[in-house]
Amino acid sequence: MIVQEQDERSGGPDGEGGVRRPRVQKNVTRAIASDICADVFPIGGFLPTENELCLRYGVSRTVIRESLKILESKGLVRGRSRVGTVVCPKEEWNILDQQVLEWIGPRIFELDLLTCVLDARRAIEPFAAEFAAERATVQDVAEIERAWERMRDAAGDLEAFTQADVAFHAALLKASHNQIFMQLASIIQAALEFSLHASNEAAAACDEAVEIHKRLVEALRLRDKTAARECSLQMLDLAARDLAIAVKNHPAPSGA
């Protein structure tokens, strides 16, 4: 998988026109990461040598090395000096990292992450809702409500509805004013997107979801911690149902 456009002015090496040098760092990093996730480079195995990677992706060793450094800093690989670079087991990956989640993409399903995230949401979101009821500013509530309006107006459009739902929950975590909760927004977002996409039959439940989300907004306005927590729990029950549908729709990971 060559990441450059590859036209390199075959007429002659930088004779008069100069060599094209597009910005490829991000692409290369993503390409290697995707290949790792796609099992092109199997877990526990060695990556090709840096020089081989140069050829494979069509870039210089500088770019390859900086990409590997990024991947290493996120736990995907571990460079052993003069031996090679090995792919780390998935447990060591920083799955809370936004970029890592993007690289994993839909394969988040195969990592059994969705149930983990749902369990974690049950622990976190009711708390976050309580904190938000206590500490949310008017701006925070306004942002949450804007997301809710987008949910309401997205009737039928699952893509728009998903984006709005994601924005709603991210804004709620932000309104909790707890840095830890905020940082978890990325993984909740990833799980939510995939879960909703994979269960588009659940579109019928959107009305119900809109209603509950609305009640949460009102609870925040009234600074009613108990009601906020209660709404959050009900949302999670809906999310659990969506997830169950998504699991049913999806090819069983054990069968792979």
Partner DNA sequence: GATATTTCATTCATCATACAAAGGCAATTG
Partner DNA sequence: CAATTGCCTTTGTATGATGAATGAAATATC
Minimal distance in Å, beta carbon 57 to DNA?
A: 9
Residue 74 touches which member of a second copy, DNA, none, C-beta under 5-8 Å by kind: a second copy
Q: How many residues bind a second copy, per CB under 8 A? A: 37
Stretch that binds DNA, among 32-40, 57-65, 101-109, 212-220 (CB under 7 A): 57-65
Minimal distance in Å, beta carbon 90 to a second copy?
A: 9
Decide: is 229 part of the binding site for a second copy (CB under 8 A): no
- Cα separation values, 122 from 46, 73, 218, 240, 252, Å: 38, 30, 21, 10, 24
Residue 124 touches which member of DNA, a second copy, none, C-beta under 5-8 Å by kind: a second copy
- Cα separation values, 39 from 36, 90, 187, 207, Å: 5, 12, 22, 40
Ordered alpha helix ranges (H), the chain: 25-37, 50-57, 61-73, 98-104, 113-135, 138-153, 158-175, 179-183, 185-198, 206-222, 225-249
Interaction mask 121-160, a second copy, x per CB under 8 A: -xxx-xxx--x-----------------------------
Stretch that binds a second copy, among 2-10, 113-121, 140-148, 198-206 (CB under 8 A): 113-121
Interaction mask 72-111, DNA, x per CB under 7 A: -------xxxxxxx--------------------------
Restricting to residues 3-42, which ones interact with DNA according to CB under 7 A?
A: 4, 14, 17-25
Residues in the chain: 256
* Strand pairing report for 77-80 and 84-87: antiparallel
Phi, psi dihedrals of residue 101, rounded to the nearest 5°:
-65, -40
Report the b/e string of 98-108 with b at 16+ CB within 10 A: ebbbebbeeeb
| DSSP 8-state symbol, 46 | B
Residue 6 touches which member of DNA, a second copy, none, C-beta under 5-8 Å by kind: none
